[in-house]
Amino acid sequence: MLGAARRQLGSGPMLGQVLRRLRPAAATEAARGYSAAAKEMTVRDALNSALDEEMSADPSVFLMGEEVGEYQGAYKISKGLLDKYGPDRVLDTPITEAGFTGIGVGAAYHGLRPIVEFMTFNFSMQAIDHIINSAAKSNYMSAGQISVPIVFRGPNGAAAGVGAQHSQCYAAWYAHVPGLKVLTPYSAEDARGLLKAAIRDPDPVIFLENELLYGESFPVSAEVLDSSFCLPIGKAKVEREGKDVTIATYSKMVGYALQAAEILSKEGISAEVINLRSIRPLDRAAINASVRKTNRLVTVEEGFPQHGIGAEICMSVVEESFEYLDAPVERIAGADVPMPYAANLERMAVPQVDDIVRAAKRACYRAVPMAATA
């Protein structure tokens, strides 16, 4: 395997249950703000097509990980790639994250562009030394002489009924580290455009997908389907415009925020939903511009509340736009406990649409404050 990774590659000819979710209601879909499109694409197909096109365009790109080849990926993200590019560019690895991640980083040192798939980002903890000390710091420590163009990708955050050791959100973990870029796609457009950008980037990129979004379909335009399509890293997207309150979030929670915004609209509250897309770098300008318009902010994330993404967003707004705030910032996050296994407790441990609705109402002084109900 190491020999295959070291040479210039040429183009060649734990089983995971795929969890699908129902498409959102038509009203929510219309609220996403996508341009008219004749085609829909699942997040799974968006990721697969981005991998295929980048591997076709650049022979130095290769994929490695557990079951990415013969089994075509635990979630079928790499379907068809082994047949098309062969075992030198789609490498099935043993169950040893520390081993194959280290090989991937070494291949990136030699000028290749590895894509390392973790069956779940929880398993990346086995390889975190390579990700942080070997990949993230090498460019700085070599005074720019060593580039590490590598992508670490896989499902992140809560799935369904997989317990505390398989349900963590690692956005805040990796966003803490200088030298890494951290991307969190929501839609098919995000998945396709951001993965292409990650593969082309000269620096290590953490690409946090969500298992429950793989089977969800989104409208895509002809521009998105073009092989040259690529989204800029570090730029957020306003998924829904509003004037009363800003809801800033990422990954699966964007869908929840859009559903909440639709509910709020029926009660006369106009919510602006920001899809962060990129956690590091964070689009502070877009967040602050929205808050300066709406004068209120709600942050939403699945991860733990302490030292989380929401806390960083809140601090950014306090530093740059405090005088524009008309209400205290509301922060919605996962419960500060290991993820329960029982379905009823699991649901209580992650943010729900109703939580976002209540927080937005509090920010707009349309509900009794939490302290008054304690």
Query: pLDDT for 253-266, tens place per residue?
Result: 999 999 999 999 99
- Alpha-carbon distance 368 to 242, whole Å? 23
- Alpha-carbon distance 269 to 232, whole Å? 31
- Alpha-carbon distance 190 to 289, whole Å? 22
The helix/strand/coil state of 208 is strand
Q: Give pLDDT, residue 9.
A: 38
By annotation, the residues acting in catalysis are 97, 166
Q: Give pLDDT, residue 366.
A: 82
User: Where in the sequence of the chain do the CATH 3.40.50.970 domains occur?
Assistant: 40-225
Q: Give pLDDT, residue 367.
A: 67
- Alpha-carbon distance 210 to 280, whole Å? 17
Low-confidence residues in the chain, pLDDT < 50: 1-37, 373-374
Q: Which CATH class is domain 40-225?
A: alpha beta
How many other CB atoms are there within 10 angstroms of residue 197's CB atom?
Answer: 23
- Alpha-carbon distance 196 to 170, whole Å? 21
Alpha-carbon distance values, 251 to 10, 14, 144, 190, 343 (Å): 34, 24, 32, 9, 21
Q: 237-240 and 271-275 as β-strands: parallel, antiparallel, unpaired?
A: antiparallel
Cα angle value 289/334/128 (rounded, 5°): 90
Entry pTM: 0.87
Token duo for residue 73: 């990926």
User: Where in the sequence of the chain do the CATH 3.40.50.920 domains occur?
Assistant: 237-364
CATH of region 237-364, choose from 3.40.50.920, 3.30.1300.10, 3.30.420.40, 3.30.70.2860: 3.40.50.920
Q: Give pLDDT, residue 370.
A: 54
Residues ≥6 apart with Cβ < 8 Å to 133:
none
- Torsion of the alpha carbons at 39, 76, 58 and 100, rounded to the nearest 10: 150
